[in-house]
A and B are shown apart, each in its own frame.
Chain A
């Protein structure tokens, strides 16, 4: 520890701290533009100047190490002043230079009201300009469908460049030219390809990079901010949903060091317009092959009529990717009361079974655990597409470590880090112990075996899970204080539904069997859109969007999308998180649990909860771990050991890419024009222009 005197207060900080960190530890606020905690230090904005007593000039605190501070003449600790007249004058000088070329267009700037430059100019700006020459003007650049540029406003902090190169791992942004003519751009104004590009908008301290789909739609002070949880992938990233009235205007990340740090993927951020389009706002009933608008009672009566004639053995229920725990609980409750055993939450079919124990289907190592893992084996997963933020975490670990061996079994893919390609299919997995890469895992203290849930969606999925668990056990990924067997899901609802045991009961049919022709008479689809139900069965779709599920359905019951309900989600780590309601479902749409409750009444099997609170009480009673918001009920390592012993016959077929189109993985994303434009760009098709 090093002693410092900051603003007259003595403080001890670790010697590797920068002066800026030390000042913050001492409670002093340091203004900054270029410095960002999660990016490398650039030291080019000069806003963080402080006075280092004894130094003739102010020093940039972000780039000055505590180690480099000289002690006083009599060996006193180095003294730093953050509020002296010299500091104030220096910062005012910096601010004046920054403002020389910055346009005075705050009234038409989307950053207005949440602009670092605006805020800091309130503290350090002068109210008039001494600059009589022409201001610099810079051509705006096209850098993709999501980021709008007004480059005259750029103050050259280079945060966006550093983000693209370091965190996103796709070095597409750069600064061309020099001095006054320096310009931030992509190579020849090509669109950025990163799935995390939206984050540069948050990073930009001024209005140079703003959100293109959100351009000119609202001011920050008009918005209501609700803390929520993302459902676009299974990470459960912390998000903030900004609404005006009942309309969701935008989605921003919240800081959650355990999951998403402060990044979110573009799908999470820009799916907003998908929440408005294609929405189901009233019940529909299929008559003569066509869906017609109906009332709730008509719809319920139709379902009750069908169910009355159906054998419970020929009734089934499927849960989609975005469902929250409460409605899955209510659906399971209702189905059980009806005597139904055919239910499945694995619509894409991964062979994971909650009966194997919780450790067999969660990301045991935890996302934060990636930071301390020292070797990684990826089995049949593409983390970049299945969980872009997690991929950034892996990249962060890979960059920080001197040696972080990464092996991949599965299709060759472009991740943002280098890896050893071990093989394409299960036979490589079964013989991994003999592979040369196995030594890297064995030597590692905390090896991580990342298994893509989507790679288990095949007939031999259970055997693949068993062999992956065996690899984890054999290679030392299961040990005291470390469980490296980690399943990466891609559906937000999956772990919660598995926790609830929403899988076929005794003699029940699984999703694939239910979808087959002639097995069911009535099937309930709770937001299940990624599965084709064969003709014949009477399909009841409870969901939010007019997508595949609704198109197949005979009765459509309009539900609430994720911003429109307070709900519990369990992420791939098994972390229970509660989202708050930010908005309301459109039209006649209702929260899904309430629909099920109302339906149960019509069916004569009334569910015993009249409010969400009572439902949750019942939920907590049966499954106490849902009570602990933000916590993970850890899996038992013995489960993984038992899974490893299950063995099974492996197919020779190679793993295939789980996520076809990153931008189209769920009904909300498919309804979004912005996602469509991103998808077109990503596939090199000419992009349709999204409504701005």
Chain B
């Protein structure tokens, strides 16, 4: 994270569209009288969506005026939350998760790919289509590594799949969001792998032996230090070939 400032080039005016204005009024009406300022985050978010993914100064001021709050109060909110973008983000804002799980699963490789495909971080690409940013955890660790492009998650990425997605987007195609490998959402790769014994579901199984008493305590056996299976290979290399699907 770094110091965030308003963009240098700013549009000269901002006004909510009629539809967004009606929506905003409905949001404001949710809050009791005198607490309209509570609607600042939804309104800023809507303004950001309307402006193509970023918040111009005039939009922040318009929201502040609408809610009867000091402009600095709205600016505080807009600069506090990093999901409010204060600079234009291109048509496709690629947010790459770089937090630990994604990093372990190869987000560094994705970063290199993005540098090659789009350019430097936080710069809109020459054609105005893309901007990429490294962000903190986006909560899709099971499907790491991943990126968020505008509203969609693209998960289980490799540099190759990411390249294909970016190329599709710049060619005007719509890539399929979600996991880019053969899995459904966060289900195990290659199908279910645990709790497969059908007898589990018959309600007949009992725990073998008597339950432990407090006095006995639970001690780890010798097996605790023994690896049953060999250490897994690095995850990216282990993934199925993305070109297959």
A contact residues vs B (CB 8 Å cutoff): 139, 171-181, 183, 185-188
Contact A181 B3 (CB under 8 A): yes
Contacting A187 at CB < 8 Å: which of B2, B3, B72, B80? Answer: B72
Chain B hits for A177, CB < 8 A: 3-4, 79-80
Question: Does B70 belong to the interface (CB within 8 Å)?
Answer: yes
**Is A171 within 8 A of B76, CB to CB?**
no
From DSSP, what is the main secondary structure of chain B's interface residues? helix
Q: 14 A-B Cβ contacts within 8 A? A: A171-B72, A172-B72, A174-B73, A174-B75, A176-B4, A176-B79, A176-B80, A177-B80, A178-B80, A185-B72, A187-B70, A187-B71, A188-B57, A188-B75
Collect the chain B residues with CB atoms within 8 Å of residue A183's CB: 3
A-B pairs, 7 with minimum CB distance: A174-B72, A176-B79, A171-B70, A187-B72, A187-B71, A174-B76, A178-B80
B6 beta carbon closer than 8 Å to chain A: yes
Q: How far is the CB of A685 from chain B (nearest CB, A)?
A: 22
Q: What is the distance, in angstroms, from A273's C-beta to the closest C-beta of chain B?
A: 30
Cβ of A510 to closest chain B Cβ, rounded Å: 46
Closest to B64 in A: A187
Give the interface SS of chain A, mostly helix, strand, loop or mixed. mixed
Docked pose: A418 CA to B71 CA in angstroms: 19
- Interface size band for B: 10 to 19
The CA of A139 and the CA of B76, in the complex, are separated in Å by 17
**Contact status A188-B73, CB under 8 Å:** no
Instruction: Encode contact with A along B1-12: 1 for CB under 8 Å, 0 otherwise.
Output: 111101000000
Q: Which residue of B lies closest to A177 (CB)?
A: B79
Residue on B nearest A171 in the bound complex, by CB: B70
A176 touches B75 (CB 8 A): yes
* Bound Cα distance from A176 to B1, whole angstroms: 13
Query: How far, in whole Å, are A576 and B197 apart by their CA atoms in the complex?
Result: 95
Q: Quick one: which of B3, B4, B6, B76 contacts A188, CB cutoff 8 A?
A: B6
Interface centre among B6, B72, B75, B76 (most CB of A within 10 A): B72
Q: A174-B72, A177-B3 are in contact. List 4 more A-B contacts (CB 8 A).
A: A176-B4, A176-B72, A176-B76, A187-B70
Please indicate the chain A residues that have their CB under 8 angstroms from the CB of B2 in the complex. 181
CB distance from A523 to the nearest CB of B (A): 50
Interface contact A179-B1, CB-CB below 8 Å: yes
Tell me the chain B residues, 175-229 only, with Cβ under 8 Å from chain A: none
Q: Smallest distance from the beta carbon of B216 to chain A beta carbons, Å?
A: 31
Residues 46-90 of chain B: 1 if any A CB is under 8 Å from the residue's CB, otherwise 0? 000000000001000000000000111101100110000000000
Distance between B223 CB and nearest chain A CB, rounded to angstroms: 37
Q: How far is the CB of B6 from chain A (nearest CB, A)?
A: 7
Q: Is the CB of B76 within 8 A of A175?
A: yes
- The distance in angstroms between the C-alpha atoms of A264 and B71, with both chains bound, is 26
CB distance from A288 to the nearest CB of B (A): 58
Q: Are A181 and B72 in contact, with the CB atoms below 8 A?
A: no
CA separation between A411 and B99, bound complex, in Å?
A: 59
| A536 CB to nearest B CB, Å | 54
Please indicate the chain A residues that have their CB under 8 angstroms from the CB of B71 in the complex: 187
B73 contacts which chain A residues (CB < 8 A)?
Answer: 171, 174
The verdict on A187 contacting B75 (CB below 8 Å), with A171-B70, A177-B80, A178-B80 known, is: yes
Distance, CA A607 to CA B72, complexed state (A)? 61
A181/B76 in contact, CB under 8 A:
no
B4 in complex: contacting residue of A139, A171, A180, A181, CB < 8 Å:
A181
Determine the distance from Cα of A181 to Cα of B1 in the docked complex, in whole angstroms. 8
Whole-angstrom CA separation of A180 from B4 in the bound complex: 12
Residues of chain B with a CB closer than 8 A to A187's CB: 70-72, 75
Complex interface: chain A residues within 8 A of B1 (CB): 178-181
Measured between beta carbons, the chain A residues less than 8 angstroms from B72 are 171-174, 176, 185-187
How far is it, in angstroms, between the C-alpha of A171 and the C-alpha of B1 when the chains are bound? 27
Complex Cα spacing A174 to B77, Å = 10
The distance in angstroms between the C-alpha atoms of A180 and B2, with both chains bound, is 9
Residue among B6, B73, B80 with the highest chain A CB neighbour number at 10 A:
B80
Q: Chain A contacts of B3 at CB under 8 A?
A: 139, 177, 181, 183
Q: Which residue of A lies closest to B61 (CB)?
A: A187
How far, in Å, is B62 (CB) from chain A's closest CB?
14
A645 to B197, CA, bound (A): 101
C-beta contact mask, B143-178 vs A, less than 8 Å → 1, else 0?
A: 000000000000000000000000000000000000
Q: Which residue of B lies closest to A179 (CB)?
A: B1
What is the chain B residue whose CB lies nearest that of A176? B79
Q: How far is the CA of A179 from the CA of B3 in the complex (A)?
A: 10
CB nearest neighbor in A for B72: A174
Q: Which residues of A contact B80 (CB under 8 A)?
A: 176-178
Contacts of A175 in B (CB 8 A): 76
Q: What's the Cα separation between A460 and B6 when bound, in Å?
A: 55
Shortest CB–CB separation between residue B98 and chain A, in angstroms? 17
Report A-chain residues with C-beta under 8 Å of the C-beta of B57. Answer: 188
